[in-house]
Amino acid sequence: MKLKLSLLIVSVLFLGCKSSQNKSYDAKSGATKIVNMLHYPQEKHLKNIKQLTFGGDNAEAYWSFDGKKLVFQASNVWGLECDQIFTMNIDDDLSKGQKPQLVSTGLGRTTCSYFLPGDSTIIYSSTHLADKNCPPVPNKEDYGNKYIWPIYEGYDIFAADTKGNQLKQLTFEKGYDAEPTVSPKGDKIVFTSTRTGDLELFTMNIDGTDIKQVTHELGYDGGAFFSPDGTKLIFRSSRPKTAEEIKEYKDLLAEGLVQPTNMELYICNVDGSDLRKITDLGSANWAPFFHPSGKKVIFSSNHKSKRSFNLFMINVDGTGLEQISYDAVFDAFPMFSPDGKKLVFSSNRNNNGTHDTNLFIADWVD
């Protein structure tokens, strides 16, 4: 759910994902064509793209500190009823349907996993203590067919080893505690919580102690990541401004829902100071991650075409916007490896006309 919109944004927001084929749209001719490509010619920053998963919905793949493993969430595959957390080596071959190592309990719904220092432990968010069953998905028809996303109160943050042995519960507040990521320095976790009545960012030590609030303005602040030096945070936020927007936001939140279709990117210091908005593009700009230099941010956006999400990069001062990927439907969750040499991302590309979202890895070319 880093926007966590998780994978629902693929199937709900875009008609292209509802069809039986991947299609691209030509604005000049009005024609559509089926596209099934691994690498688009315009993607000059990506080289040697390799597909890592082959079926179902796979997303939010995050690197181990040594850059040799990934932890990710998957659903609609391997008999899963809803999202669960898995780990894999980046050179594993899953092309014949092999099931990677399950890390979560297999109960409830999970999201937002991340390696802790040493790579023998991961954190993730799960609803399994609140209910072993998958929580219900809201019916968008009850909300005027608008895209909405549930903020399940049963989410808490847990630590487990890479074999799936539960080690520790890190959050205990009533309400939503999820979307944790870890500082490259290995000392802090940032996460989103409703413990103050709104969806705000918080930090804590990796053992769950010393919780501090980072953001304070009304709106959904989430999907945060640390800068390479661990001093700053990049996150996406949908912050209502008009009286109508504020009322709608509060009414939905009271029902445990958000409508995260209008989001921009913000940067601040880890303590919340020096908060700056770096995009003003409209639509949904989300899944941001710092470039290894700390001077740029890569993210996913549909601001250029409502029919597709693609990857873009922007300087931390909001200048120099550049398109990175050119998929016909959906590219998101881009994450640089710790050494900055590789990029992992989720995409609907090359899925043989299915609805599958898979993980891809590429060499990064500056």
* Chain segment 61-120, per-residue pLDDT in tens: 999 999 999 999 999 999 998 999 999 999 999 999 999 999 999 999 999 999 999 999
Q: 143 CB contacts (<8 Å, ≥6 apart)?
A: 252, 257, 259
Domain boundaries, the chain: 8-364
Report, at the CATH architecture level, how domain 8-364 is classified.
6 Propeller (2.120)
pTM: 0.92
Question: Residue 21 and residue 15: Cα distance in Å, rounded?
Answer: 11
Torsion of Cα atoms, 322 then 325 then 327 then 330, to 10° = -90
Question: Residue 331 and residue 349: Cα distance in Å, rounded?
Answer: 8
Question: Residue 354 and residue 348: Cα distance in Å, rounded?
Answer: 9
Look up tokens 């954190």; give the residue.
Answer: 123
Pair of tokens at residue 339: 């050494």
**pLDDT above 70: percentage of residues in the chain:** 90
**pLDDT above 90: percentage of residues in the chain:** 85
Q: Angle CA(277)–CA(280)–CA(281) in degrees, nearest 5?
A: 145
Question: Residue 209 and residue 46: Cα distance in Å, rounded?
Answer: 40
DSSP 8-state assignment for residue 229: T
**Average pLDDT for 302-315:** 95
Question: Residue 322 and residue 334: Cα distance in Å, rounded?
Answer: 15
pLDDT value at 15 more than 50:
no
pLDDT value at 19 more than 70:
no
Bridge-based pairing of strands 57-63 and 69-75 is antiparallel
